[in-house]
């Protein structure tokens, strides 16, 4: 029986795989289970780690060099993909970086150079990578897809500092990319994930407190140790099911973005609240 996702035998580029806890790793694994060819990216010394965790995926995959702080590296990646595969069906952008002092209380004192470096890595790279790969995505049968990972940027999140700003910028960039790339048949969307325990998340001092809020109050419950809760939304946006969806932010957070934390959603109702590990 053909999968409704219609991902069979397609080729996807997935960035940001640091270990097998990362959302990007779980997306890559899910794509391979749908019989897709997956290509990963990494850079410098980190590439050795990416290659090791790539061996834990269901199928073998290649790891290409990509340093989003280098225009030449982005162009070289596009040229390599053009030469080897000729087209791409989709790209997953899971890249974000900021110096520790740019998070939390350092918001008001982070030097401009470090702020701008974080913006380039976390926000501008989404535009740069999407634009560089657009000619390859435009050749995808049925249209190419770009999916980025973000957080709930509609609110200021304690502890996120400049990273929260970068995610807000990412959302605006996604809207403009959707407008500019739509005529080429390329759709651009974001998934706003609830708090998932990853290496990056551990760099946010308030992560545990935020995760507790989600696990306590999200209408569908939440589990910070379950990346699969985010993967489904990414696969949907990469698939033909989202062929007419672009410029959107899909929240995969148990519904937390829609409610006010601190009030029992079952209060005043005879309905019971789902268990925190349900969903």
CATH code of residue 46: 3.40.50.720
**Least confident piece of the model among 44-48, 153-157, 272-276:** 272-276
Is it the case that residue 271 has pLDDT exceeding 50? no
What pLDDT does 260 receive? Answer: 76
Which domain does 176 fall in, by range? 11-252
**pLDDT-derived band of residue 265, with 50, 70 and 90 as boundaries?**
very low
Domain count, the chain: 1
Of residues 201 and 67, more confidence is placed in 67
What pLDDT does 215 receive? Answer: 94
> Is 269 a domain residue?
no
Is it the case that residue 197 has pLDDT exceeding 90? no
pLDDT in tens, 198-227: 777 777 778 889 899 999 999 999 999 999
> Is 182 a domain residue?
yes
What pLDDT does 273 receive? Answer: 42
Is it the case that residue 185 has pLDDT exceeding 90? yes
Report the 3 state secondary structure along the chain. CCCCCCCCCCEEEECCCCCCCCHHHHHHHHHHHCCCEEEEEECCCHHHHHHHHHCCCCCCCEEEECCCCCHHHHHHHHHHHHHHCCCCCEEEECCCCCCHHHCHHHHHCCCHHHHHHHHHHHHHHHHHHHHHHHHHHCCCCCCCEEEEEECCCCCCCCCCCHHHHHHHHHHHHHHHHHHHHHHHCCEEEEEEECCCCCCCHHHCCCHHHHHHHHHHHCCCCCCCCCCHHHHHHHHHHHCHHHCCCCCCEEEECCCHHHCCCCCCCCCCCCCCCCCCCCC
**pLDDT-derived band of residue 3, with 50, 70 and 90 as boundaries?**
low
**Least confident piece of the model among 17-31, 36-50, 196-210:** 196-210
**Least confident piece of the model among 54-63, 221-230, 253-262:** 253-262
Euclidean distance between CA atoms 23 and 144, whole angstroms: 21
Q: What percent of the chain has pLDDT over 90?
A: 75
Catalytic residues: 160, 167
What pLDDT does 261 receive? Answer: 63
**pLDDT-derived band of residue 4, with 50, 70 and 90 as boundaries?**
low
Taking residues 165-175, report their average pLDDT.
97
pLDDT in tens, 136-158: 999 999 899 999 999 998 888 88
Q: Judge whether 56 and 21 are in contact, CB under 8 Å.
A: no
What does each C-alpha distance from 229 to 99, 100, 110, 194, 233 come to in angstroms? Answer: 28, 27, 34, 9, 8
> Is 247 a domain residue?
yes
> Is 260 a domain residue?
no
> Is 131 a domain residue?
yes
> Is 141 a domain residue?
yes
> Is 84 a domain residue?
yes
> Cβ atoms within 10 A of the Cβ of 228, count?
14
> Is 226 a domain residue?
yes
């Amino acid at each position: 029986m053909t999968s409704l996702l219609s991902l069979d035998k397609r080729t996807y580029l997935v960035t940001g795989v640091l270990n097998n806890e990362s959302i990007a790793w779980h997306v890559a694994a899910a794509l391979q289970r749908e019989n897709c060819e997956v290509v990963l990216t990494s850079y410098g010394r980190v590439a050795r780690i990416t290659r090791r965790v790539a061996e834990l995926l269901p199928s073998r995959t290649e790891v290409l060099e990509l340093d989003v702080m280098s225009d030449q590296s982005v162009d070289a990646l596009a040229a390599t993909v053009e030469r080897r595969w000729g087209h791409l069906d989709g790209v997953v952008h899971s890249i974000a970086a900021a110096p520790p002092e740019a998070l939390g209380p350092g918001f008001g004192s982070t030097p401009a150079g470090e702020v701008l470096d974080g913006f380039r890595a976390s926000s501008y790279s989404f535009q740069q990578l999407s634009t560089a790969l657009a000619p390859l995505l435009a050749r995808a049968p049925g249209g190419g897809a770009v999916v980025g990972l973000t957080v709930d940027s509609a609110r200021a999140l304690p502890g996120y500092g400049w990273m929260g700003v970068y995610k807000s910028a990412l959302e605006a960039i996604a809207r403009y990319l959707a407008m500019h790339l739509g005529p080429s048949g390329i759709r651009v969307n974001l998934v706003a994930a609830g708090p998932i325990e990853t290496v990056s998340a551990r760099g946010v001092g308030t992560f545990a407190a935020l995760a507790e809020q989600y696990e306590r109050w999200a209408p569908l419950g939440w589990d910070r140790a379950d990346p699969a809760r985010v993967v489904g939304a990414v696969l949907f946006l990469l698939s033909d099911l989202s062929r007419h969806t672009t410029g959107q932010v899909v929240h995969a957070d148990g519904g937390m973005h829609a409610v006010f934390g601190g009030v029992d959603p079952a209060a005043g109702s005879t309905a019971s609240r789902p268990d925190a590990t349900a969903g």
